[in-house]
């Protein structure tokens, strides 16, 4: 007999730790921009694993790469060279203009690697980080120390020392927080988890200038905003700056777990054998998927389409706002990383959208976050907008 949704949820509540506020459906399969639950209901997926399935579900190039690589070699140790890993590093380096990559398994791990690399660069004299209030860098102890949000940090203190948080957008506060022991400023090019907050070009260029003035590193957490999400290969390319280290994860292998950092050569070369490692980092299967995904995600024509579709998505949201004054406070974002701040409850709106066959993520009380597959079509966007309009006006 087929397992029911109720059974999966009951067993999940009994056997799986309660770390997620889960919605009451079991996602069973996916294709393109759509997923189906265990009961056969179809949903338009505007969450995409939270910016993970950027090529949509079951992309043939990624599926083929996983199939072929799984038959050839799933895993081998980083004691040996791995061809796919080298090729993916080359692609990321060439598209970013940085120097060398290191591979791990998640966004938090990528940020751990970035923090350790900056401290190694600082030679024990420079170890302090300036981070941003409302940031999100992950939930391991190091990445949590950089995540300046009391709600996440409080139950887990003491955390690693050496992190000072300042408001995003305030260059004076940033400069005042830089100390002789500071090794880096670390921030997201767009704050994802705290509401799709996009800093200005002037601010990002100001951060770069302050890092240069004090001879410290600029680390950009591109875990959510990187790899085509904003319509550029990397989010920093929207701001006319080049950071010293970037961290990546989420979309990098379109759903196969992987994280990475890419750094300028003079910084990357501070890591020597034994300084940092990961058994599964850059494994043949993950980098096969990563190479297949990134070859598409970082392609110019693909990115031009992301920019166009993102503009269309935002324009359609703004049009709903104009037709119904007082419902939508702001539409913000770059490419297909979009926040729609409502005057009412985004949780209620997301719950209603779920009932109507659309997956949308609510962050905080008022923001609907849209991070759909980058392959979403205008027709798919058109199918969603009347549903949203109806939900927002009822």
Ligand X SMILES: Cc1ncc(COP(=O)(O)O)c(C=O)c1O
Provide the binding-site residues for ligand X, judged by CB under 6 A.
50, 106-108, 111, 136-138, 188, 192-193, 221, 223-224, 249
Q: What share of the chain is helix, strand, coil (3-state, %, to 5)?
A: 40, 20, 40
Residue in the shown chain whose Cβ atom is closest to ligand X: 107
Nearer to ligand X, 192 or 335 (CB): 192
Beta pairing partners, 128: 182
308 contact partners, CB below 8 Å, separation of at least 6: none
Whether 281 and 104 have beta carbons less than 8 Å apart is answered as yes
Smaller CB distance to ligand X: residue 107 or 195? Answer: 107
Strands 337-342 and 163-166: unpaired
Nearer to ligand X, 371 or 391 (CB): 371
User: Least distance from C-beta 3 to ligand X, angstroms?
Assistant: 27
Nearest 5°: phi and psi at 60? -55, -35
Asked if 324 contacts 392 with a C-beta cutoff of 8 angstroms, the reply is: yes
Taking the complex as a whole, the smallest distance from the CB of residue 50 to ligand X amounts, in Å, to: 6
Q: For ligand X, which is the closer residue by CB, 138 or 321?
A: 138
Which residue, 286 or 391, is less far from ligand X as judged by CB? 286
d(CA 324, CA 344): 13
Beta carbon of residue 222, minimum distance to ligand X (angstroms, whole number): 8
- Least distance in angstroms from the C-beta of 192 to ligand X: 4
- The residue among 126 and 137 lying less far from ligand X, judged by its C-beta, is 137
* Strand arrangement, sheet containing 259-263: 100-104, 259-263, 245-248, 217-221, 182-187, 128-132, 163-166
Reported in sequence order, the residue ranges of 250-388 that DSSP labels E, i.e. its strands, are 259-263, 328-334, 337-342, 358-359, 361-363, 367-370
Closer Cβ to ligand X, 138 or 281, answer by number: 138
Closest CA to 102 of 245, 279, 261: 261
Residue 249: CB minimum distance to ligand X, A: 5
**Cα–Cα distance measured from residue 225 to residue 229, given in angstroms and rounded to the nearest whole number:** 6
Which residue's CB is nearer to ligand X, number 321 or number 333? 333
3-class secondary-structure state, position 175:
helix
CA atoms within 13 A on the CB side of 3: 13
**DSSP for 121-139, written as a single string:** HTTTT--EEEEEBT----S
* 191 or 388: CB nearest ligand X: 191
**Token representation of residue 275:** 């300084």
CB of 366 to ligand X, least distance (A): 19
């Amino acid at each position: 007999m087929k397992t029911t949704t109720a059974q999966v949820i009951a067993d999940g509540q009994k056997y799986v730790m309660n770390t997620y506020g889960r919605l009451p459906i079991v996602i069973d399969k996916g294709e393109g921009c759509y997923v189906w639950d265990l009961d056969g209901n179809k949903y338009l997926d505007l969450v995409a694993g939270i910016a993970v399935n950027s090529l949509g579900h079951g992309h043939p190039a990624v599926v083929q790469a996983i199939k072929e690589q799984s038959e050839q070699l799933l895993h081998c140790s980083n004691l040996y060279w791995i061809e796919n890993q080298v090729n993916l590093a080359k692609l990321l380096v060439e598209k970013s203009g940085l120097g060398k990559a290191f591979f791990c398994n998640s966004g938090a791990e990528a940020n751990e690697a970035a923090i350790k690399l900056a401290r190694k660069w600082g030679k024990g004299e420079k170890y302090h980080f300036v981070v941003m209030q409302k940031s999100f860098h992950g939930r391991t102890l190091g990445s949590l120390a950089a995540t300046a949000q009391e709600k996440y940090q409080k139950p887990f203190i003491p955390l690693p020392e050496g992190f000072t948080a300042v408001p995003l957008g305030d260059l004076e506060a940033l400069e005042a927080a830089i100390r002789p022991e500071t090794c880096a400023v670390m921030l997201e090019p767009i704050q994802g988890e705290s509401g799709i907050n996009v800093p200005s070009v002037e601010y990002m260029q100001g951060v770069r200038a302050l890092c240069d003035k004090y001879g410290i590193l600029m680390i950009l957490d591109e875990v959510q905003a990187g790899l085509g999400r904003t319509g550029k290969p990397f989010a920093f390319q929207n701001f006319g700056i080049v950071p010293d280290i970037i961290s990546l994860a989420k979309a990098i292998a379109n759903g196969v777990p992987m994280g990475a950092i890419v750094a300028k050569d003079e910084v990357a070369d501070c890591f020597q054998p034994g300084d940092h490692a990961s058994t599964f980092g850059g494994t043949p299967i993950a980098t096969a998927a990563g190479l297949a995904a990134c070859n598409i995600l970082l392609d110019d024509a693909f990115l031009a389409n992301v920019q166009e579709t993102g503009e269309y998505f935002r324009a359609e949201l703004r049009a709903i706002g104009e037709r119904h004054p007082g419902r939508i406070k702001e539409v913000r974002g770059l490419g297909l990383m979009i926040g729609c701040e409502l005057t009412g409850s985004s949780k209620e709106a997301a719950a209603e959208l779920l009932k109507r066959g659309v997956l949308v993520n609510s962050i905080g009380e008022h923001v609907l976050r849209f991070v759909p597959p980058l392959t979403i079509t205008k027709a798919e966007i058109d199918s969603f907008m009347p549903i949203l309009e109806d939900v927002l006006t009822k």
